[in-house]
A and B are shown apart, each in its own frame.
Chain A
């Protein structure tokens, strides 16, 4: 009998943000037995996964391939993204401005002013984190600056709340997942508004687990496009993305170790044996052939004081230029050349390249 219970893997990916997930998926797609260790679900709680590449060189090696891989991954996970390397859209935010995006979940992709003439920004009475008048006014102003004649009107709907509670996106998101009557309530509240509009913009409330098909069904019922914006944390669309990607990775056999930070990388003589996780009673030791560090911007200390970025193969190096470990890669925001502007694009690019390098597939980076 093959020992599948062992804590030894082909690849350990540390970090469950967008880069770690991309790495794990890329390696798993090449047949690697992958463990994904993380202390929490990345930064999905703050956003919705829009990918900007405007501030990057579009000819960066492997970028097109990586974005295509991620788009396919999102489709398999039933949270399909739209867009691609050559595309560019203006996606609204709750602050009423537009961000330039090349790849986004379809329910955000819809928000571009060129796709609609009549847009209604729908607020929910009592929901403090989304002000429909403010958003509509500002979007009209910014659409004008972009030379679009789209009209934005604000509207407020009432949604029921549980006794003794104030409206909140988490409450609505959870009820949308669990209660078919609440789904009908949302649909009915939007019906008359959607009848006069091409696009409805609303705060993110359409479930923490919904598949794309479920949101498309709502669009069909309303006969109108929906654009859902992430609000203050927790971002419902962001967590939905995480939940769908996680479910997909579990299906393809990635083993999750969630909730425990890395205590130590076990590096000896320039080779990384594995990690020690900070688990109760004693550290859990996981070992692997290869390790990818996707632990975010504040995790450089795991690599020690001499960590000075990565070489062209994404291997972390000492200040003097030698690699820290021959089987170790670093991807995502831990890389110091990540700027806030193209963070997700860099995360997907490096995550994909890291996963492929771990699977010993020749890919080029930088």
Chain B
């Protein structure tokens, strides 16, 4: 786990981190977290130049942090080295763009049909490959024509919660955002939508800590009013959730006031499933499942950033209680997508190799659909297996869909469809 108070010297070189690293598994030349983190950090702190391109190959999955028996913040050390790493021109500019999904989302939504057409056409992809080093092997996520927006909320008199959708739900999957809001309503919350903004995780993973800091600052400032009024923040994307919980305070530590606010944000951020489990413990979970439910065979993949939050397996445990659902926890490691990592031409092969164990696990399980809460895991699994992937909120809402017609929430979105019905 991340623990910034822990000394570098806590590293005992036991190699548990190397054993847990998905890149080490498939790419023996990768020096591994032990070397790139604590070992080189000792030299870096002495001012010795030891920049290496290998830091770029870190997936930022945080599995090394979880494996460390002595709580060394290995991934944080590598992320810092990534920030200082000098990249060649083309990769540098590509990564500057990939570090800004919010900007890309805003551009993409100006004319989504044209954008999607171009991003899907072969010649454009070949040009992107040649000049931007973005792999033509996998399709890029399509932009939705209207962003997630809530126009009117009927008074629900439930607990006020602020849903932080993150870039992917905001710009690519707004219909998922609607369903998250519906699910919150059905469980007695009064949800509202946070101001759009990027959590900064993509910037951090692409070696742009300054941009990540700006994201963090913007979110902290826009969220404080709701937090001070006693609202909690809900995330449905595991990377956004992890960032809000762990990343901000560290990035904003230079400014005592902001850091204090960031701590408050962290303490009040909850994964959607975390909230639902708490509702169940309080006997308030909506379990009015529509009947009859057809038998549904699912396989669950826990995203790395879900594991890193230390909340157990709330989605898996919620879904396996739904009548008619048969769900298996794949527990087959990292999917290899690493957010934007898998889009990078030079890393596509490594990304797919990392995912191969998970793909094999899915094929062996042969589910009707895979369930995972991370949008980029979803892209990778669909790319690697062709099996349909859905967000767990989809499954839970679908099981409750009888109630969906009676929702008090109006959503300004032309594209809300019932395509999630399996």
Chain A interface residues toward B at CB < 8 A:
1-7, 39-41, 45-46, 161-165, 168, 170-171, 174-175, 177-178, 208, 233-234, 239, 250, 255, 257-261, 277-282, 284
Contacts and interface: CB of A to CB of B under 8 A. Distances in A.
B113 interface: no
B71 interface: yes
Contacts of A174: 24-26, 28
Given A250-B331, A257-B310, 4 more contacts: A39-B69, A45-B15, A239-B19, A261-B71
Nearest to A1: B321
A259 B277 contact: no
Given A250-B331, A255-B313, A281 B318 contact: no
A234 B313 contact: no
Contacts of A178: 25-26, 356-357
A280 B242 contact: yes
Most buried by A among B19, B69, B277: B19
A163 B16 contact: no
A250 B328 CA distance: 11
A280 B24 contact: no
B139 interface: no
Nearest to A258: B66
Contacts of B307: 258-259
Interface in B1-57: 1-3, 13-16, 18-19, 24-29
B320 to A, nearest CB: 7
Contacts of B146: none
Given A41-B67, A165-B28, A261-B71, A1 B287 contact: yes
Contact of A165 (B16, B25, B29, B320): B29
Contact of B280 (A6, A165, A168): A6
B308 interface: yes
B246 A280 contact: yes
Contacts of B310: 257, 259-260, 277, 279-280, 284
Contact of B15 (A7, A233, A250, A259): A233
Contact of B65 (A6, A259, A277): A259
B277 A6 contact: yes
B245 to A, nearest CB: 4
Contacts of A282: 266-267
Contact of B14 (A2, A162, A233): A233
A234 to B, nearest CB: 4
Contact of B19 (A6, A170, A258, A281): A170
27 contacts: A1-B321, A1-B323, A3-B280, A6-B281, A39-B68, A39-B69, A40-B69, A41-B16, A45-B16, A162-B27, A163-B29, A170-B15, A170-B19, A174-B25, A174-B26, A208-B19, A233-B13, A255-B312, A259-B1, A259-B310, A260-B310, A261-B1, A279-B1, A279-B311, A280-B266, A281-B246, A282-B267
Contacts of A5: 276-277, 280, 314, 317-318, 321
A161 B28 contact: yes
Nearest to A279: B310
